[in-house]
Amino acid sequence: MAKYLLIESRDTFESKDVSRYYDLAKGLKQDGNDVTLFLVQNGVLSAREAPQANGLADVANAGVQVLADDFSLRERGIGNGRLVAGVTPAPLDTVIDAMADGSKMLWD
Give the pLDDT confidence of 59-75 residue by residue, as tens digits: 999 999 999 999 999 99
Task: Place 1 in a pLDDT band, splitting at 50, 70 and 90.
Answer: confident
Instruction: Supply the CATH number for residue 28's domain.
Output: 3.40.1260.10
Looking at per-residue confidence, does 16 or 61 come out higher?
A: 61
Number of domains in the chain: 1
Question: pLDDT tens for residues 44-56?
Answer: 999 998 766 568 9
**Consecutive H or E run containing 38:** strand 34-39
Q: Report d(CA 28, CA 16) in Å as an integer.
A: 19
Residue 8 in this model has a pLDDT that exceeds 60: yes
> Which range marks the domain in which residue 90 is found?
3-107
